[in-house]
């Protein structure tokens, strides 16, 4: 798999103007979408809960990119960029792994015709998303190294 430095070299990640304001907006969007995921779980819309949980995680992670002045070519490269913080010791590896895992589950639910999430998977994704947002909020509050 391509590492975050190679992503820049290949144009999969690129530098843009840093924006803490956009980062805060992205964190707000993450919280809003997390609330939608909770509603979806209560409504037994399990696939929608998984989709919303992943989208909440994506927006939370993307807040770090906005703050740092980085733009991604696809969702995959958001997680690759976060690996920078794992290498620097500012983020536990589990958060990148969880983002990748929930993205894969969301992908299956979106594109595989015979795949459906159940209550356990949806609830797990929702809990993971809530914890992930907290980790990204913590990272966002720290200065970029």
pLDDT by position in tens, the chain (length 145)? 578 889 999 999 999 999 999 999 999 999 999 999 999 999 999 999 999 999 999 999 999 999 999 999 998 899 999 999 999 999 999 999 999 999 998 888 777 677 888 999 999 999 999 999 999 999 999 866 4
- pLDDT at residue number 67: 97
Using an 8 Å Cβ cutoff, are 27 and 140 in contact?
A: yes
Domains contained in the chain, number: 1
Residue-level pLDDT at 115:
81
CATH number assigned to the domain comprising residue 56: 1.20.120.330
**Sign of the four-CA dihedral 4, 8, 13, 15:** positive
**Residue range of the domain that includes 104:** 4-141
Q: Name 13's bridge partners.
A: 72
Q: What is the pLDDT of residue 52?
A: 97
DSSP secondary structure, 31-74, as one string: HHHHHHHHHHHHTT-HHHHHHHHHHHHHHHHHHHHHHHTEEESS
């Amino acid at each position: 798999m391509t590492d975050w430095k190679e992503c820049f070299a290949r144009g999969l990640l690129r530098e843009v103007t840093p924006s803490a304001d956009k980062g805060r907006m992205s964190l707000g969007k993450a919280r809003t979408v997390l609330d939608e995921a909770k509603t979806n779980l209560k409504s037994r819309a399990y696939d929608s809960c998984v989709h919303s949980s992943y989208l909440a995680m994506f927006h939370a992670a993307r807040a770090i990119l906005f703050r740092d002045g980085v733009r991604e070519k696809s969702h995959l490269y958001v997680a690759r960029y976060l690996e920078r913080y794992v290498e620097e010791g500012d983020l536990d590896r589990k958060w990148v792994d969880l983002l990748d895992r929930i993205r894969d589950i969301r992908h299956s639910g979106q594109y595989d015709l015979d795949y459906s999430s159940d209550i356990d998977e949806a609830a797990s994704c929702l809990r993971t998303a809530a914890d992930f947002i907290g980790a990204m909020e913590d990272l966002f509050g720290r200065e970029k190294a």
